[in-house]
Amino acid sequence: MNKPEQDPNPEREKREEGQPSGGVAPRLDMLVDEHEEEISVDGRTVRRQGIYLLPNLFTTGALFAGFYAVIAALRGDFESAPIAILFALVFDGLDGRIARLTNTSSKFGAEYDSLSDMVSFGVAPALVMFSWALGDLGKFGWSAAFIYVACAALRLARFNTQIDTADKNYFTGLASPAAACVIVSTVWVCHDLGWVGENLPYEVSVLVALLTATLGFLMIANFPYYSFKGIDFRGRVPFVVMIAVVLIFGLVTVDPPRILLIAFLAYAASGPIMSVVKRRR
């Protein structure tokens, strides 16, 4: 009798029946669908599977830093929380530039970055500020925190819809990372002054609540802010530029909280000032 022809690839039969090829644990792709994305290649629409690892690692780092800032604030650690948000700022600045430098930009990465920004620079700073000062102000405090969160969401939504038509050298409205850094730098400075808990003056709480709401409105205002995206990190620069960078690092190390607060406040004020100057001209 003739024996039935055997399949030279026995693993194929298992895959067709939906059985795990390893025999023990189910395959991961049976639990999570593979991501597919349409891209344009030479004028043709092509579907590609998977995501780019390197830029999304930095985005995940920014998301983790924002989440850690919330945990630190809930524990009353108002020194680690601002530092975590600053780390999120660094990671957020690197993911996009690395994606452009390595040609690994994607729609998935852009959406993931936007959601990470909402957590790290929208929700996290508001909760840090609320845990530190706004919680004692009752409805006025949580209302100011909510205004900031809502404006951050509106600002990110507007940015995503205008990303293909807006001027790359300028942002419309204060960027959410810059607004977040103003908030956490304020918390950091006041923490160093000992203004925590019962030692926090009521007047300071009211002022930071107004600052929080004001930063929210600056994010959705039409003031132009320089984006720094025009800086070419791969090109050559005069030697004096490197000296200036060294001096800036030296200045920041003298008193990081106060220097950073002054720098971010100056950037937040640059939009309205630039708008007034252009109108006068």
Count of Cβ atoms closer than 10 Å to residue 9 Cβ: 9
* 8 Å CB contact between 149 and 123: yes
CATH architecture assigned to 50-280: Up-down Bundle (1.20)
Residue in the structure block whose two tokens are 């989440």: 67
Take residue 52 and report the two structure tokens written for it: 């780019």
Confidence bin at 266 (pLDDT 50/70/90):
very high
Strands 44-49 and 36-41 turn out to be antiparallel
pLDDT confidence of residue 97: 85
Domain-wise residue ranges, the chain: 50-280
d(CA 262, CA 264): 6
| CB contact set of 51 (below 8 Å; sequence gap of 6+) | 35, 106, 108, 109
Pick from 31-35, 97-101, 103-107, 149-153: least confident: 31-35
d(CA 117, CA 16): 41
d(CA 247, CA 250): 5
Burial class, 142, CB count within 10 angstroms (exposed 0-12 / middle 13-18 / buried 19+): middle
Mean pLDDT in residue range 146-169: 90
Confidence bin at 206 (pLDDT 50/70/90):
very high
Pick from 45-54, 181-190, 272-281: least confident: 45-54
Percent of the chain with pLDDT strictly greater than 90:
60
d(CA 103, CA 105): 6
Asked if pLDDT for residue 3 goes beyond 80, the answer is: no
